[in-house]
Structure 1
Amino acid sequence: MPIKLAANAYGKNAVNLSRVIRHADHHEFRQVSVSVQLTGDFDAAHTLGDNALILPTDTQKNTVYALAREHFTGTIEAYALVLARHFIARNPQLSQARIEILEHGWQRMNFDGKAHSHSFTGGGSEKRRAVVVLTAEGTCTVWAGLKGLLLLKTAGSGFVGYPKDEFTVLPETTDRILATECEAEWEYTSADLDFEPLYQKIRTGLLRTFSEHQSLSVQHTLYAIGENMLEENAEVKEVSLVMPNKHHIPFNLTPFGQENTNEVFVATDAPFGYITGTLVRG
């Protein structure tokens, strides 16, 4: 039986780029990690060792840096579009270019109510994400999202009514800590959108839904967040969420003659519940 090459792609991952944008009275500092993945006519490179159509990954890396000064001045979605269009336009052997950008959050320091002109503090674990897939035919899809967003609330969450067997020791509760490290990704309906205010609106809606929702489970809250995103943002086609349950378990104070009135907990790193879901329009 003959052997042939099936799906394949290549590119440069984790191109770490920092960019200072110098305004008249202050600086912006941007830090991103860019990954490029190219799909196309690469059979000869695999089967014959012929590299005539292989754009070096080092060239891809250099392109990310070289285009940053002029073009990376706005959203990561906009810069991903610039990179994808550059690779498609210059390389007719490509059928598709996929650009993923992950942005680390930096904010200007604030003293006495005034933002410092050039000093910054890190944004913690949360990162903003954008993915652009552009085909040679011109079809373009844009995803946006975030990961590493730590969320926690100390009320408005419970877990009751679940199946129980001989291995179940978890007590039912109507008052527990709900904590997660949220990852969200949503697909936009168009590549021609004002991405910055739209992203901020979606993120704010996520936070508000998490905080206000009377949660009967992590699944229940995950659905409420995704439902709100789709109902409030016509520009969003679908949304996927990952919400691991970061457990905070009440500590037994009885041996010490004390009652734990839901105030002292053991924060556990592992194991943890892992809850995912994708919501689409019906």
Structure 2
Amino acid sequence: MAMSSSKWSNPTRVNDATSNLNYKKIKDIENMDEREKYAFGNYGYGKNHVKLLHVHRQGSLHKIREYEIDVYLRLSTQNDYLEGDNRQIIATDSQKNTVYVLAKKHGIKSPEEFGLLLCSHFLNTYKHVVEVGVKLEEYPWERLRAEGQAHNHAFVYSPSAIRLAQIVHKRNEIAQISGGLKNLRILKTTQSAFKDFIEDGYRTLPDANDRIFSTVVSSTWDYSTANGVDFDDVWCAIKDCVLDKFAGDPEKGIFSPSVQNTLYLAEKMILDNVPQISRIEMQMPNKHYFPVNMSKFPQEIVDGHDNNEVYLPVDKPSGIIYAELHRKNFVSKL
């Protein structure tokens, strides 16, 4: 009598299935053994260089802010790395779209506040997100002036400095807010010296009693609180402090015995004037301008032109001076 195929399984298929199951178990054990050897350090994923121009119209008066934004997320699971399981991934394209939608819904008052909004959105919407980071770089647009007054809807790109902001928010922790600036290039033609440094067999640089002082300032700072902070005002105040300790009085200026001293005085003034900041770090690389040696030219050619000085700009190599100044025993109130 023939056996029913519906009642009896093919022995070969049973053996194949058992073999596949055993193989999977072996591989799982091997994977577990391998994973005992390694641990994740930093990991995550996100969307970089999201460009955004926000226009706010109040009748005929328009305001603009342009940004380049980086977003990254860290999930509570590493299954996307370990197993190739994508079910918990918020696509980087979705992160980009979130930036645009939130800007449309809420506008942008300052880069710090918009970064906090993005962090809150991802943490509140996706419970498996354990950390969000947002970096923002603001393009320096200023309102154009025409016929002695500010224009309603025309702007000029004025890159005196680039504004930066960064927010890192971990679930169940206080958001960490940082601000910054870069590419603030400044120069003064006097009231700067550098002398009395170590004299030994390696020194060839002479004392300079009066020299050109030029640098490109970069700085970052940490906020100890976000309560009642006008981030736009703080950024402008920090920039003004740097310029004040670099330039000084419009007529007399301010003397700089070294880049180090100027940098310290600027950081101290910032902490004195902006109580919401707990730490500031600053870099001031030298941008050298060396006098052109005129001694190789005939004296009759260059005589009588003492007030016309010629310098050679030299970008590399350059000195780099940096320091971090922070308050002692501050308590974060974010």
Write 1 or 2 for the structure with the bigger share of strand: 1
Q: Deviations over 1:207-249 (max 9, x none)?
A: 1111124211111111111111111221110001011111111
Q: Deviations over 1:33-77 (max 9, x none)?
A: 101121232411111111122211111111111111232331111
For residue 67 of structure 1, give the secondary structure of its aligned residue in structure 2. Answer: helix
Q: Do structure 1's residue 273 and structure 2's residue 308 form an aligned pair? A: no
Matched-pair contact (CA < 8 Å) for 1:182–1:243:
yes
Aligned position for 1:216: 257
Unpaired segments ≥5 residues, structure 1 = none
What is aligned with 1:142? 177
> Distance in 2 between the 1:15 and 1:177 partners?
39
Out of 275, 279, 283, the position equivalent to 1:238 is 279
- Distance across 1 between alignment mates of 2:136 and 2:178: 10
The 1:42/1:125 distance shift into structure 2, 3 A limit, reads: farther
Quote the Cα distance in structure 2 between the aligned partners of 1:66 and 1:95.
22
1:111-163 deviation digits (Å, cap 9, x = unpaired): 22111222211122621111111121041111111111111111221110112
Given residue 317 of structure 2, which amino acid in structure 1 is its aligned partner?
P
Question: For residues 196 and 124 of structure 1, do their structure 2 counterparts lie closer, same or farther at Cα, with a shift above 3 Å needed?
Answer: closer
Q: Distance in 2 between matches of 1:188 and 1:51?
A: 36
Structure 1 stretches of at least 4 aligned residues deviating more than 4 Å after TM superposition:
259-262
Residue 255 of structure 1: SS of its match in structure 2? coil
Change (3 A) 1:261 1:165: farther
How many angstroms does 1:262 deviate by? 8.4
Q: How many residues align?
A: 282
Tell me if structure 1 keeps the 8 A contact 2:60–2:153: no
Evaluate the alpha carbon distance shift between residue 75 and residue 120 of structure 1 in structure 2; reply closer, same or farther with a 3 A threshold: same
Q: CA deviation at 1:5?
A: 2.2
Deviation at 1:26, TM superposition (A): 2.0
Q: Return 204-213 or 98-107, whichever deviates more.
A: 204-213
Q: Secondary structure of the equivalent of 1:55?
A: coil
Contact 1:95 1:135 (C-alpha < 8 Å) held by counterparts:
yes
2:101 aligned with 1:66, yes or no? yes
Segments of structure 2 that go 5 or more residues without pairing to the other structure are 1-35, 249-253, 329-334
Q: For residue 120 of structure 1, what is the aligned residue in structure 2?
A: 155
Aligned residue among 15, 24, 30 for 2:65:
30
Q: 2:120 aligns with which of 85, 89, 107?
A: 85
Matching residue within 56, 61, 67 for 1:21: 56
Letter in structure 2 aligned against 1:194: D
Equivalents in 1 of 2:203, 2:194: separation in Å? 14
The structure-2 alpha-carbon separation of the partners of 1:241 and 1:66, relative to structure 1 and needing over 3 Å to count, comes to same
Determine the C-alpha separation between the residues in 1 that align with 2:192 and 2:45.
45
Partner of 2:320, secondary structure, is coil
The one of 232, 236, 242 aligned to 1:196: 232
Cα distance in 1 for partners of 2:107, 2:140 equals 15
Over 3 Å counting, the alpha-carbon distance change for 1:232 and 1:178 in structure 2 is: same
Q: What is the CA–CA distance in structure 1 between the aligned matches of 2:212 and 2:278, rounded to whole Å?
A: 32
1:205 aligns with 2:241: yes
**Which amino acid is the alignment partner of residue 240 of structure 2?**
T
Q: CA RMSD in A?
A: 1.8
**Structure 2 length-normalised TM:** 0.80
State the identity %: 33
Alignment of 1:32-51 (within 5 A): 32-51=67-86
